[in-house]
Structure 1
Amino acid sequence: MAADLSDLEHWVTPLIQKLSAGERRKLARKIATDVRKEQRERIKEQRAPDGTSYTPRKPSKRRRGRIREKAMFSKLRTARFMKTAATATGASVEFRGGAATIARVHQYGLTDRVSRKSPLRVRYASRPLLGVSARTESIVERAVIDHMTQR
C-alpha cells in the first residue's frame, strides 16, 4: 500500500497525456466519483485507509441505559459534504465548508470545541477520513484501463 499515488502516476501519465483535455476531464470525473464512493463505504465501515478501525467514541455520561450509539460521520460521508472536483489536470475528493473543519479535526486528531458556545475544548482521536489505500489505487487503475478500452 502506498502513501500516495506516485507509483501509479508514473504508469498512468504517458497514457493520459495522449488524451484530449475533454477526455482527461471526463476520466478525472469518473475517477473522482469512484474514489468518493470507495471513501464513503470505508467511512461507513469505520475504518482508516490502512485498514485499522477508528478509535471508538468515549461513552457519554448523559446517556444511560441501552441506547445504541449512532455511527460516526453518517452525515459527513454524504455527497452534500464530500465533494468531487475534476479538471483536465486532476481530480480530487474533499470536504467543503463547515464539514471541512470537522473533517480536519478528526483527520489529524486536533483540539476543538464540543459545541459552538461551549468553552470546553476536547482533543479528538485521529480518525483518518480520506486517504489512499491499495483499493483506491486499484479503482484508479481500473478506471484508466476501462476508459482506454472504450476509446
Structure 2
Amino acid sequence: MSDDLHALEAWAGALLAKLQPAQRRAINHKVAIDLRRSQAQRIKAQQGPDGTAYPARKRRKEFKGKNGRIKRQKPAMFAKIRTAKHLTVKTSGDQIEVGFFGWVARVARVHQFGQQENTPKKRAACKYPERPLLGFSELDRISVRESLLHQMEHK
C-alpha cells in the first residue's frame, strides 16, 4: 500500500511540477476538498478505510418519560467531528493535509488507535475500541487520481 501511495505521489508530482505555484496551490486545494468529502462520507457510513464497520457503541440506559417514550436519543457517532469545521484541510504548493487539528485531534486519536481516556468527574478511565477515522483506501487513491486529472483538464 505504501508503494502505491509513493507511486501516486511521484505521478502527481511530475504533473504538478509543470504548473505555476498559484495553479498548483489551487489544484491541491480542490483535490484536498474532494478527499475531505470522501473521508467524511466514509465516517458517516461508520466504516474504516478497509470497508469494515466500526465496533458498536456501548449500550446506555435510556431515559424514559412518564408515558414510556425515550426522552433523549443518542446522536449519530462522530456527527460533529466529520464537519468541515473539524475535519480540516491544509494545502500548499507541495502538500495536502486532511485531518483533525486542535482538541478534536485528541478525540480522533483516541478513537483512531483505540486508546484509553480519562472520563470527566473522576470516573474510571474508559478504553475505546479502535475506529479508524482517517485512512487512504483504494477508492481514495482512485478519487485523488480522477480529481487531479479533472482539475488539470480545466487549467
Q: Structure 1 length as normaliser, TM-score?
A: 0.90
Cα pair 1:27 1:143 within 8 Å, conserved: no
User: Which piece of structure 1 moves more, 124-133 or 90-99?
Assistant: 90-99
Aligned AA (1:35): L
Aligned pairs for 1:15-34 within 5 A:
15-34=15-34
Deviation at 1:69? 3.7
Residue 87 (structure 1) aligned with residue 87 (structure 2): no
SS in 2 for 1:32: helix
SS in 2 for 1:35: helix
Whichever of the two has the greater Rg, that structure is 2
Deviation at 1:134? 1.2
Aligned to 1:103: 108
Aligned AA (1:108): F
Give the aligned length. Answer: 148
Deviation at 1:64? 5.9
1:143 is aligned, of 143, 147, 152, to: 147
Aligned AA (1:106): H
Residue ranges of structure 1 left out of the alignment (5+ in a row): none
Taking only the aligned residue pairs, the percentage that are identical comes to 37
1:125 is aligned, of 102, 113, 129, to: 129
Deviation at 1:114? 2.6
Q: Structure 2 length as normaliser, TM-score?
A: 0.88
Cα separation, 1, equivalents of 2:122 and 2:138: 40
